[in-house]
Structure 1
């Protein structure tokens, strides 16, 4: 049986999820969405073959699975507005950063299956990575369905302790920005040495893309992959020694720690509202 899916809020991340579902063979007839931006409805309906509503209640009432894709600061009011049509057998999947499962359960008003997710923006190009955690009301079949949905635009990991979602944010949710910043610096360095920007960008970005592909596709230790291209007293060694001297270990550790700590702070702010 094909489950009926509703998306409350249809922005970039929701579009990535819908695109993945459609690419994996899910019918547009089984997908509905709701958004206050009614001027976007015709474009979304044409793009995905789905039906859009202006009323969240109308979208949620007919759905088996509901993706909550609105901004975190708006989520409570949105959920409480449609809570009267929530059914016990429904599954709710949140992509709102910082909103804990307990808060969602409270707003929904009754025991229902809830999965909290932390996807990242590479989902927009089918290369997303998502951390997932489910509440006690979520069945194995529902968890498998959610895993397949998120794999349709990348991959996933399940987390057992919700506190670890802060680490997921630091290692995956926010991490693409770290790599973007690194690429910016590498491209600028290439330009400073005489290359044009387009050439410098292509060389740097394909090197990063290739390194990521080797790590994900080859069954080899990352340290060994690094050693394989580091000849004694060679060019790579010179670069790596400079990175170590400049403190790459402490720098990246501090960045990950700062991201996780800020995620905790935001979580407390939302919990206290």
Structure 2
């Protein structure tokens, strides 16, 4: 397999590292390019056999999959860079939510997919959110999902739900880590427990809770009910949390969606010159 990665920033490098570590891809199967060539070369130097190309077109030429791992406003420029070398049998994969399948299908005469990864893929966990363009048949979808199955659980979703599932899967680790950090900080401040001890306990608690929800097949309500004895310590604390956090995640979702719509409008303007039906 030949795979090109355009963009070696946070998520691009995460995917490359995860695929190599999991055995899904070997370094010799990968070509990378980046706006700053030195960054692509630095990544290639870590993995002998990986090719750091000077142009996006060279990274894309002949690749089975071309991953576009750049910021939304850079997409139109990257698409223009690779347009002349892309062939119908290739698959271009965007990992950026505000770039629509229709944006890319309108410019590139090949198969188009969108896959939203998560930082959890770095430890071969979490989901990869898979959204497919009209030129992808079932065989194409299964082949791409088999690649991502090495580092995640591929989940097919509809494009209209891109933002909310990204909130849960991709933004979620940051949100939960923030809340856990507040919990640990409070524990240290209120009791003097060594921070390293509190962090270790909290991290293992989070891992165990995730396993209860997945392998243990407990629901979130089940966990609360089984931990919170009526009239007990946990039940009293849960009432406080319910009161103080009421509606907070509604505000979080509205914030991410507002930013998404702003970015989507800008991307659409770059592709079409004007926004179309609010998109």
TM-score w.r.t. the length of structure 1 is 0.90
Query: In the alignment, is the contact (CA less than 8 A) between 2:4 and 2:32 conserved in 1?
Result: yes
Query: In the alignment, is the contact (CA less than 8 A) between 1:76 and 1:107 conserved in 2?
Result: no
Instruction: For 1:38-77, list aligned pairs within 5 A.
Output: 38-49=37-48, 50-77=50-77
Deviations 1:98-118 (A, max 9, x none): 11111112232x2x2111122
CA distance in 1 between counterparts of 2:6 and 2:41 reads: 16
Query: In the alignment, is the contact (CA less than 8 A) between 2:98 and 2:264 conserved in 1?
Result: yes
CA distance in 2 between counterparts of 1:144 and 1:184 reads: 38
Query: In the alignment, is the contact (CA less than 8 A) between 2:8 and 2:40 conserved in 1?
Result: no
Moved more, 232-241 or 249-258: 249-258
Structure 2 gap segments, 5+ residues each = 271-279
CA distance in 1 between counterparts of 2:145 and 2:113 reads: 10
Instruction: For 1:244-263, list aligned pairs within 5 A.
Output: 244-246=242-244, 248-263=245-260
What's 2:27 paired with?
A: 28
**SS at structure 1 position matched to 2:107:** helix
Query: In the alignment, is the contact (CA less than 8 A) between 1:170 and 1:257 conserved in 2?
Result: no
Query: In the alignment, is the contact (CA less than 8 A) between 2:63 and 2:90 conserved in 1?
Result: yes
Structure-2 change in CA distance of 1:12 and 1:249 (3 Å): same
Residue 197 of structure 1 and its aligned partner are, at CA, apart by 1.9
CA distance in 1 between counterparts of 2:182 and 2:40 reads: 40
What's 2:274 paired with?
A: none
What's 1:269 paired with?
A: 266
Residue 68 of structure 1 and its aligned partner are, at CA, apart by 0.7
CA distance in 2 between counterparts of 1:238 and 1:204 reads: 20
Structure-2 change in CA distance of 1:41 and 1:131 (3 Å): closer
Moved more, 57-66 or 196-205: 196-205
Structure-2 change in CA distance of 1:25 and 1:174 (3 Å): closer
Aligned residues: 267
CA distance in 1 between counterparts of 2:156 and 2:40 reads: 33
What's 2:132 paired with?
A: 134
1:18 and 2:21 are equivalent in the alignment:
no
Instruction: For 1:236-251, list aligned pairs within 5 A.
Output: 236-246=234-244, 248-251=245-248
Alignment root-mean-square deviation, CA: 1.9
What's 1:79 paired with?
A: 79
